[in-house]
Amino acid sequence: MKRNVSLEEISDGRLYSIHDMVKADCHGCKGCFACCCGMGNSVILDPFDVYRLQTGLGKNLTQLLQEDKLELNVVDGCILPNLKMAGEREQCAFLDRNGRCSIHESRPGICRLFPLGRYYEDGDFRYFLQTGECREKNRTKVKVEKWIATPDWKKNHDFVCAWHELLKMLECETAGQEDSTRAKDLNLGLLNTFYMTEYDIQEDFYEIFSARLQHYREEFGL
């Protein structure tokens, strides 16, 4: 989800690479779960998140939607799944009664990043530190690579860039004609190709993604 704010307003003004040290380590959150509540529909899942959830929980997207853990929303013209926030505290459906994440190993990329964000530029991205979001004031430095704890970071980086470019392309294609048949076809195609079609978790995600991306682009002439 894009945010219309300047980087200076919300960050320390620096951009970080995967090898940089950044003051993001909140030491296991110490009982705080502030960023697992009240996030609206902003914790959007990408296809790798769905693969990771399927691997960790043994459940595909359809099952997680049926269980009310996830929901679908339109974001910047695309229909995308996000973590569902519900109840009095508007809390994530994966937060347990002790205020801990019940799917820590399989948590989505946005949860892994927090309080970091991604800043996209020229087909690439770097990380920025959101200064007003995390409640822990005594955070210490940690290497970005360690913080996001995602194996094969280079492949993941390339996937994130490719996915971002595809969503940008879709946004341009559908701008101002969101109700057209073309826009609906592109959106349903995206949902089916990258989210609803179950992943074979024995296979490498990045290879599956690459094949699906090629198929999707050919099918829709992108």
DSSP structure class, residue 114:
T
Which residue in this structure is represented by tokens 């198929």?
215
DSSP structure class, residue 180:
S
Which residues lie closer than 8 Å to 72 by C-beta, 6 or more apart? 65, 79, 80, 81, 82, 191
Find the binder of ligand SF4 among 45, 64, 78, 83 (CB under 6 A): 83
Stretch near ligand SF4 under the rule CB under 6 A, chosen from 12-20, 89-97, 117-125, 175-183: 89-97
One-letter amino acid of 144: V
Could you say which residues in the range 202-221 bind ligand SF4, by CB under 6 A? none
Find the binder of ligand SF4 among 101, 142, 201, 208 (CB under 6 A): 101
Neighbours of 108 (CB within 10 A): 23
CB of 120 to ligand SF4, least distance (A): 22
Specify the residue, 37 or 166, whose C-beta has the smaller distance to ligand SF4: 37
Could you say which residues in the range 11-50 bind ligand SF4, by CB under 6 A? 26, 29, 32-36, 43
One-letter amino acid of 14: R
CB of 113 to ligand SF4, least distance (A): 10
Binding mask 130-169 for ligand SF4 (x = CB under 6 A): ----xxx---------------------------------
Run of H or E residues at 35: none
CB of 86 to ligand SF4, least distance (A): 11
Stretch near ligand SF4 under the rule CB under 6 A, chosen from 9-17, 62-70, 92-100, 166-174: 92-100
Q: Could you report how far apart the first and last alpha carbons of the chain are, in Å?
A: 22
Strand-pairing partners, residue 140, are 25
Q: Are 91 and 183 in contact (CB under 8 A)?
A: no
Find the binder of ligand SF4 among 48, 51, 114, 127 (CB under 6 A): 114
| 3-state SS class at 171 | helix
Q: Kindly tell me the burial class for residue 107, based on how many C-beta atoms sit within 10 Å of its own C-beta (0-12, 13-18, 19 or more).
A: buried
Find the binder of ligand SF4 among 53, 78, 103, 170 (CB under 6 A): 103
The contact set with ligand SF4 (CB under 6 A) reads 26, 29, 32-36, 43, 83, 92, 94-95, 101, 103, 107, 111, 114, 134-136
